[in-house]
Chains A and B, each alone.
Chain A
Amino acid sequence: MNVLSDAAVEKALEQKMTEVDYKMIGQDVSVYYGEKRALFDVNLNVRKNTVTALIGPSGCGKSTFLRCLNRMNDTIASCRVTGKITLDGMDIYDPSIDVVELRARVGMVFQKPNPFPKSIYENIAYGPRIHGLARSKADLDQIVEGSLQKAGLWNEVKDRLQESGTGLSGGQQQRLCIARAVAVSPEVILMDEPCSALDPIATAKVEELIHELRANFTIVIVTHSMQQAARVSQRTAMFHLGLLVEENDTDKMFTNPDDQRTQDYIMGRFG
């Protein structure tokens, strides 16, 4: 019988701790669009029940990285991803992975609110229905109500669930999209500039919502607004020209960043 040394046990424990702590791990992630390389060996880990903000100037690769996390890049024919990304230790680019299941576990909210041109109820119910999450109509009703409540939209729309989702205001539409993502009970929610099309009041509501969602979900958010990153996130990652410049606690990032480029970007010297 081999008895592990104390040091080895400790190391294993520590590794286990970090494995649990990190919901998603990205190792040497590179992305190519045809011949053009958009991401260079990015190593970025996403912590569980944490809001991670990705910032950086336009075209720096932050949205590209985000879309790697639920393989939305697969829809672009010329796109190629190398490196390794894991979800709970499982390689999501493994050929045995069902990408549809992956997207059910890693949901996404897009830049422009994109509700289906169907009723509010149908918008929410669609995901649970295709994944067979509801056994009965009552179940489904409950999921719809719960999701809308989590998205803080229930009180505004409970009397008009059968009206079209596209008839809502921009802010409401975006919260509807968040409710739609929440309805399939994902573990991670990816948000690609969710507030860029919204006015300040709607933005404040969505940010508040992100705060609340953190308790149950792991959130990765791409944003152009430094203030927003500072307000909603605990961890921030700064991208520049396809490179991950720095990843740190948000507080540290905005007060005393390690990298000069982060400092310059946050101070508004470029970008």
Chain B
Amino acid sequence: MTDLTADTLRRTVLTDSARIRRRNASERRFRMLGIIAVTIGVLALIGLLTSIFSSGLSSFRQTYISLDIYLDPAKLDKDGDRNPATIAKVSTFGYLPLIETALKDAMAAKGVAVEGLNAKTAAALISKEAPADLRKLVLADPANIGQTVHFNLLAAGRIDGYYKGRVTMASAELDSNVSPEQLMLADKLKTAGILTSSFNWSFFTAPDASDTRPEAAGLGVAIIGSAYMMLIVLVLSLPLGVAASIYLEEFAPQNRFTDLIEVNIANLAAVPSIVFGILGLAVLINFVGLPQSAPVVGGLVLTLMTLPTIIIATRAALKAVPPSIRDAALGVGASKMQATFHHVLPLAMPGILTGTIIGLARALGETAPLLLIGMVAFVREYPRSPPEGFFDPASALPVQVYNWTQRGDPAFIERASGAIIVLLVFLLCMNLIAVILRRRFERRW
């Protein structure tokens, strides 16, 4: 009898039957499929990041030409009394000769010369934006007039592109904006130490620039616009969303009306974002009369878009809190509100925060509705500080990307990729904040 049992046992465990082989094979197949799916995903991500970083990273470095410029009082302040009004009258064209002279002197001092280039064509190496920068320096501090200042002048976009591999001698032959001689001069200036490259701070601070000056274009206005909108979205949608969820989940009676609300929230979450843009245009701008291109309109539209996401996430988080906790609180005589706010809400907080940050991240990257409310406009002026600034025209990060990809100059493609990197870094930071907050809450509870 015992022999028989042992025999049966051995057979059931060890026998290599066709059925067991099939079962094991299907397990292996499923695992393989999973690995393949993950690999494809990871490869796609790597491909995406490589393409963005390879074309965008260079936008964080910029070519400058550093010169000692004599700010000639005879040209900048004819009256000689340092009256800001007279100084302000001198336009950027008044500064151009100073730069030309400074470059000529520097070339002479270092013995740099290229045949076929005169002072004017040599000065074309310098961006058209540079005189404006110089003028800003003088207007900010008129005491500089009469002094010799050391100034880093933006190099022209083509020269910058030459050092980033975008422009070659061959392409310069065909280009009306740059000649091979100018590139040769740039090389010589580089060996002489006049042409340098350094970190591009102005990419984060400068406003957008016109089509012919890609080297001066920056994200300043877009970052401020996006920040204003995120502020509005956070301040409006978090309290509204959480309050609505708590009411629906913990207090509302279960009836037709709440069912209807529930269905509508779910539907609202699936509405294409451009529809919210049309709503913003029709209601907020045309009916209420809010200004176009203003962060307040963008913020309100994005709030409407984010609310369903936050409500759904918050309700899921509240649902995930075990009912035994509510019972426990009610059992010691806590009121429904006390049970909710003292026990349920803190336990749901990590989930709520995650939902909110996911919603915010989506709002930060949203482009379509902003196009409709005029945020795509070319804005050079910084918006004021809040609250007035909410009504000033501004741009937004994703819209700036969209905007730059439409421009003709290939230098804008680099800028657009750079802007995408900035956007990705912001999203990464937001996720990081979500993780940190979640950790903190979990430790406390």
Given contacts A77-B254, A118-B445, contact A184 B324 (CB under 8 A): no
A32 to B329, CA, bound (A): 25
1/0 contact trace for A207-229 toward B, CB 8 Å?
00000000000000000000000
Chain A residues whose C-beta falls within 8 Å of the C-beta of B335 in the assembled complex: 100
Chain A residues whose C-beta falls within 8 Å of the C-beta of B253 in the assembled complex: 77
Given contacts A77-B253, A101-B333, A117-B347, contact A130 B338 (CB under 8 A): yes
- Once the chains bind, are B327 and A103 in contact (CB under 8 Å)? no
A108 is an interface residue with CB less than 8 A from chain B: yes
Number of A-B contacts defined by CB within 8 Å: 66
Chain B residues whose C-beta falls within 8 Å of the C-beta of A103 in the assembled complex: 330-333
1/0 contact trace for B332-352 toward A, CB 8 Å?
111100100011000100000
A112 to B323, CA, bound (A): 11
Nearest-neighbor residue (CB-CB) of B343 within chain A: A116
Chain A residues whose C-beta falls within 8 Å of the C-beta of B327 in the assembled complex: 72, 75, 108, 110, 114
Contacting B333 at CB < 8 Å: which of A109, A118, A131? A131
Chain B residues whose C-beta falls within 8 Å of the C-beta of A126 in the assembled complex: 329, 332, 334, 342
- Once the chains bind, are B445 and A184 in contact (CB under 8 Å)? no
Contacting A75 at CB < 8 Å: which of B254, B326, B332? B326
A131 to B338, CA, bound (A): 11
- Once the chains bind, are B334 and A114 in contact (CB under 8 Å)? no
Interface residues of B in 242-272 (CB under 8 A from A): 253-254
Contacting A184 at CB < 8 Å: which of B254, B326, B332, B347? B332
Contacting A107 at CB < 8 Å: which of B322, B332, B343? B332
- Once the chains bind, are B324 and A112 in contact (CB under 8 Å)? yes
Query: Chain B at the A interface: mostly helix, strand, loop or mixed?
Result: helix
Q: Place the interface of chain B in its size category.
A: 20 to 34
B436 is an interface residue with CB less than 8 A from chain A: no
Contacting B331 at CB < 8 Å: which of A72, A77, A101? A72
Interface residues of B in 300-343 (CB under 8 A from A): 322, 324-335, 338, 342-343
Chain A residues whose C-beta falls within 8 Å of the C-beta of B324 in the assembled complex: 110, 112, 114
What is the minimal beta-carbon distance from B442 to any residue of chain A, in angstroms?
10
A77 to B335, CA, bound (A): 16
Q: What are 24 A-B pairs with beta-carbon distances under 8 A?
A: A72-B327, A72-B331, A75-B326, A100-B334, A100-B335, A101-B333, A103-B330, A103-B333, A107-B331, A108-B327, A110-B324, A110-B328, A114-B325, A114-B327, A114-B328, A115-B328, A116-B325, A117-B445, A118-B445, A126-B329, A126-B342, A131-B333, A180-B328, A184-B332
Instruction: List the interface of chain B (C-beta within 8 A of A).
Output: 253-254, 322, 324-335, 338, 342-343, 347, 445
9 closest cross-chain pairs (CB), A and B: A104-B333, A127-B332, A114-B324, A108-B331, A103-B333, A114-B328, A100-B335, A117-B445, A100-B333
